[in-house]
């Protein structure tokens, strides 16, 4: 019996170590350009750029499929930052994708909410809390102001109001520089 225990311990450890070593050795680097483009995008996940989220849009920019002027939440400042990064000419925002607006936040008129959960399903960042036939509410700190919850609401009880506190939502493991730049952009947008 001890042979079996020892054998499988050794076999398991060897295979585990081997796989760990192989994972290091054969690691595939993802395209660093995509990461850097993604870091400049506002992470609202609003889909106004015609891509499902910021990361897919970053991939499309990196592969040359999409121009850099399709991100209204990023605004002109975002386009300039992207142009600097990629060495391109800054373009005016494409009006087909929407207008640049100050940072906003969704607010649910709680007396009118019928608890249909449609806005919960539409929210790309899970910022709406609620359950079927229960009142819903927006977690202000999580809301990116993407407007995606407005169309599905059957009773039009969601309003977009300008955000009071600056919106900072750093990605996990991201450096403080980005948080700071988001702050600056928010301040600019709020002031203008």
Partner 1 sequence: MTEYVLILVSTVLANNFVLVRFLGLCPFMGVSGKIEGAIGMSVATLFVLTLSSMSSYLLSAYVLTPLGLEYLSTLGFILVIAAVVQLTEMVMRKSSPLLYRILGIFLPLITTNCAVLGVALLNVQQQHDLLQSALYGFGAAAGFGVVLIAFAAMRERLARADVPIHFRGAPIGLITAGLMALAFMGFSGLARL
Residue 132 structure tokens: 């079927």
Residue 168 near residue 183 (C-beta atoms within 8 A): yes
Among 9, 22, 131, 151, binds partner 1 (CB under 8 A): 22
For partner 1, the binding residues in 24-43 under the rule CB under 8 A are 26-28
Residue nearer to partner 1 on the CB measure, 33 or 125: 33
DSSP class of residue 171 equals P
CB of 68 to partner 1, least distance (A): 26
Closest separation between CB of residue 47 and partner 1, Å?
25
Among positions 11, 141, 180, 184, the unique one binding partner 1 when judged by CB under 8 A: 11
For residue 142, the tally of other CB atoms under 10 A from its CB is 15
* Nearer residue to partner 1 within complex by CB, 1 or 176: 1
- 2 near partner 1, judged by CB under 8 A: no
Using the rule CB under 8 A, is 180 a contact of partner 1?
no
Nearer to partner 1, 27 or 133 (CB): 27
Are residues 190 and 162 in contact, defined by beta-carbon separation less than 8 angstroms? yes
Quick check: 17 binds partner 1 (CB under 8 A)? Answer: no
Euclidean distance between CA atoms 14 and 71, whole angstroms: 50
Cα-based torsion angle of the residue sequence 111, 140, 60, 50 in order, rounded to the nearest 10 degrees: 20
Check binding of 3 to partner 1 (CB under 8 A): yes
Helix 176-191 / helix 75-86 crossing angle, nearest 10 deg: 140
Decide if 133 contacts 145 (C-beta within 8 A): no
* Binding residues for partner 1 (CB under 8 A): 3-4, 7-8, 11-12, 15, 18-19, 22-23, 26-28
């Amino acid at each position: 019996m001890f042979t079996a225990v020892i054998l499988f311990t050794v076999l398991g450890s060897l295979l585990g170590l081997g796989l760990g070593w192989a994972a290091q050795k054969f690691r595939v680097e993802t395209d660093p350009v995509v990461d850097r483009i993604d870091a400049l995008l506002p992470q609202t996940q609003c889909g106004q750029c015609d891509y499902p989220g910021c990361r897919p849009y970053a991939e499309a920019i990196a592969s040359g499929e999409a121009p850099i002027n399709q991100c209204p939440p990023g605004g002109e400042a975002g386009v300039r930052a992207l142009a600097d990064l990629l060495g391109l000419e800054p373009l005016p925002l494409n009006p087909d994708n929407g207008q640049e607006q100050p940072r906003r936040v969704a607010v649910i008129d709680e007396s009118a909410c019928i608890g249909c959960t449609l806005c919960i399903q539409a929210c790309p960042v899970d910022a709406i809390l609620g359950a079927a036939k229960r009142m819903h509410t927006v977690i202000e700190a999580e809301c990116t102001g993407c407007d995606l919850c407005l169309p599905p609401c059957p009773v039009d009880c969601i309003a977009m109001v300008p955000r009071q506190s600056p919106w900072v939502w750093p990605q996990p493991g991201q450096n403080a520089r980005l948080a700071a730049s988001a702050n600056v952009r928010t301040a600019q947008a709020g002031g203008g």
